Chain A
Amino acid sequence: GENVEQHPSTLSVQEGDSAVIKCTYSDSASNYFPWYKQELGKRPQLIIDIRSNVGEKKDQRIAVTLNKTAKHFSLHITETQPEDSAVYFCAASTLLRGYNKLIFGAGTRLAVHP
């Protein structure tokens, strides 16, 4: 089955710096890659996603890149702010079927210091 590896497990940056989180996946059939932000004790919130027919997607300070050949995708956060501090999870899924089973990475705890 699908396996998703995520690095680093923790990331500490100064406010205004960029943060990059990387994930690799194993199943070449995976074609949908969402990123979730989870604050302590709360639900995962979708922040951006990308499908396999696109190499890059950007939404304000957040961007995701996908390299299908290498089976890896990355989250880039620019101009980080303290409120970006949270755990970030990548996930992979195959949308061939009607439903959408997400396989999550282990998470990255991002700390943004003022």
Chain B
Amino acid sequence: EPEVTQTPSHQVTQMGQEVILRCVPISNHLYFYWYRQILGQKVEFLVSFYNNEISEKSEIFDDQFSVERPDGSNFTLKIRSTKLEDSAMYFCASSPPGGSGYTFGSGTRLTVV
């Protein structure tokens, strides 16, 4: 069964540093997403991406965040200057048109110290 792959599985970074979280969506999917889950809380939508541009973003997704699909296979989330409150599990997801077959990656646990 096709999977969404995320790397790294765990990243520890100093406050103020930039981090890049990487994802490889399912190859025939067209829509890509990032979600965040703070420990013990619900999964929250950050951004959706289609046709090389952002379709929608939440209020969490401020100027410190950016997304990119640099090479046609990877989908990245960059946090420019990390804050302690950015510590969370970040899930990448992808879906084909129509919404069914929505698949989450295994997540990257980001710890900001």
Contacts and interface: CB of A to CB of B under 8 A. Distances in A.
A93 B104 contact: no
Interface string B73-113: 00000000000000000010001011110101111000000
Contacts, number: 57
Nearest to B49: A99
Nearest to B105: A43
A104 B43 contact: yes
B98 A101 contact: no
Contact of A99 (B35, B41, B95, B107): B95
Contacts of B31: 98-100
A98 B104 contact: no
Contact of A89 (B42, B50, B98, B106): B42
A100 B95 contact: yes
Identify the interface centre among A89, A93, A95, A97: most chain B CB within 10 Å of its CB.
A97
A99 B91 contact: no
Identify the interface centre among A91, A98, A103: most chain B CB within 10 Å of its CB.
A98
A105 B102 contact: no
A47 interface: no
Secondary structure of the B side of the interface? strand
A103 B31 CA distance: 16
A102 B50 contact: no
A43 B56 contact: no
A98 B50 contact: yes
Interface in A45-67: 45-46, 49
26 contacts: A42-B106, A42-B107, A43-B91, A43-B107, A44-B43, A44-B91, A45-B104, A46-B102, A95-B98, A95-B99, A97-B55, A98-B31, A98-B98, A99-B31, A99-B33, A99-B48, A99-B55, A99-B95, A100-B99, A101-B45, A101-B48, A101-B56, A102-B43, A102-B45, A102-B102, A107-B42
B26 to A, nearest CB: 14
Nearest to B100: A49
A32 B99 contact: yes
